[in-house]
Amino acid sequence: SPTTLVNQIKRIFGMAFDGGEVVIEENKAGTARIRFVGCPGSNRGVWDDMLGSIETLLELCGGRESSARVIAVGRDGDTTMTCVLSWK
């Protein structure tokens, strides 16, 4: 399920990135808020790719109309990004 996927985001992130930390700030049916911290070398393209991958994974886990949007930082050179995920 999408909620289970969010619970596994730390492990999935660790397979693709060295360093950095994932903080799950909220995870409930239909929505989650996640903060990525200490990710040197990140840029807007990296953040966009990450969000697109998460949206796809949410749908593969049964979520419909999934979306991921940045709510804090996540620009070129930012080492931190907070996003909100939603699905039906």
Residue pLDDT, tens place only, 50-61: 999 999 999 999
Give the global pTM: 0.89
Residue pLDDT, tens place only, 35-77: 999 998 888 898 999 999 999 999 999 999 999 999 998 888 8
Query: What is the residue type of 28?
Result: K
The H or E element that residue 5 is part of is helix 2-16
CB 34 within 8 A of CB 24: yes
66 token code pair: 């999934």
pLDDT at 34 exceeding the cut of 90:
yes
